[in-house]
Structure 1
Amino acid sequence: MTDFADTQSMGLEEHPSIDAALDEFRKHIKEYRKVSNDEGVWLFLSTLGCWSVTSPILQLAAFAVALIIFSKRLKNRIKEKKSFPKSEEIIRQRIHEESVGKEVLQRRLARLENIRGAYRIGMRPIFDNGVFAICWLFYGASVVLHMMH
């Protein structure tokens, strides 16, 4: 089993086994959640910094720059670019195409469903992260408050 940090991309189409693809999928979800929480802290700190700018126009520019930097940092730290539902769909298709025997098919589908259930895929996973959600809400409230003044 390869370590997530060692993988360039999940490359679900290239995995030699479906079981390895399932392992990578689970690791990718866990890593995504960790990274988004880590980067959420930086979004929070940069939002606090935006409030120290006294000029309203420059403050608005600071909010925009903070969002751009946050988005770029998050994008650069996430190795796999496919959405969770798209990755799940690719794995599900491979399971149906490559599983030999009904028992193997059912075992792999059950494993995929366990991963899906454990990480609530399809329920906007990015907002399942408490730290990230709070930091994002603070950023949004700050921008709205700025616009109201």
Structure 2
Amino acid sequence: MTNKAFKKIYEFHENIENYRRSLNLEAIWLFVATLGCWSVNSDIIRVFSLSITFFLFSFQAYHRLPNKKSFEKIRMEAQREINALPNPEIKDQYQKELDEIVSTKLSTSSAIAGSSIFFLCFSFWFLSVIYWAMPKFWH
């Protein structure tokens, strides 16, 4: 029982780390593809290429994850395993570990720091779309 709880806590931590690593890796390709979209002269093809770039990025980032469950679902699975532990001392210890992961790894500052390349590259993609669309649609 103890090993199952530990395994679920470890899985929760690893899923967060893998997700951020995947986002950062795919974000580099998002940046390169966005630069490629700007080399297209036709507006309609540029819109199409920027859209495809975003959808391919989203698809790749999601499919790189070995575990497709949400953070909350994995956390709840770990919580169930912790609650099933018979020893109150071990239960408290594991609960503290889980709470520590939630407070440190799922905080906004941790998400930004751990996915900084993603935020930078996605901001570039988003601002590129806005920069291109502003004069076209908002005269």
2:10 maps to what in 1?
23
Q: Residue type of the partner of 2:32?
A: L
Structure 1's consecutive aligned runs of 4 or more residues displaced over 2 angstroms after TM superposition are 122-128
CA distance in 2, matches of 1:124, 1:88: 19
Q: Name the TM-score, length of structure 1 as normaliser.
A: 0.81
CA distance in 2, matches of 1:101, 1:53: 64
Give CA-to-partner distance per residue, 1:49-100, whole Å, 9 cap, x none.
111111111101110010111111111101111221221122112211x111
More helix by share: 2
- Residues 15-54 of structure 1: matches in 2 within 5 Å? 17-54=4-41
Unaligned runs of 5+ residues in structure 1 are 1-15
Unaligned runs of 5+ residues in structure 2 are none
CA distance in 2, matches of 1:146, 1:33: 29
Q: Report if the CA contact (8 A) 1:85-1:122 is conserved.
A: no
Q: Report if the CA contact (8 A) 2:19-2:65 is conserved.
A: yes
- Asked whether 1:73 is paired with 2:43, we answer no
Q: Report if the CA contact (8 A) 2:104-2:110 is conserved.
A: no
1:82 pairs with one of 43, 62, 69:
69
Q: Report if the CA contact (8 A) 1:99-1:105 is conserved.
A: yes
The alignment's C-alpha RMSD in Å is: 2.0
| Pair 140,57 (structure 1): closer, same or farther in 2 beyond 3 Å | same
Q: Name the TM-score, length of structure 2 as normaliser.
A: 0.86
Aligned length: 133
Q: Which has the higher contact order (CA 8 A, sep 6+)?
A: 2
2:99 maps to what in 1?
113
CA distance in 1, matches of 2:10, 2:63: 22
CA distance in 1, matches of 2:28, 2:15: 20
2:89 maps to what in 1?
103
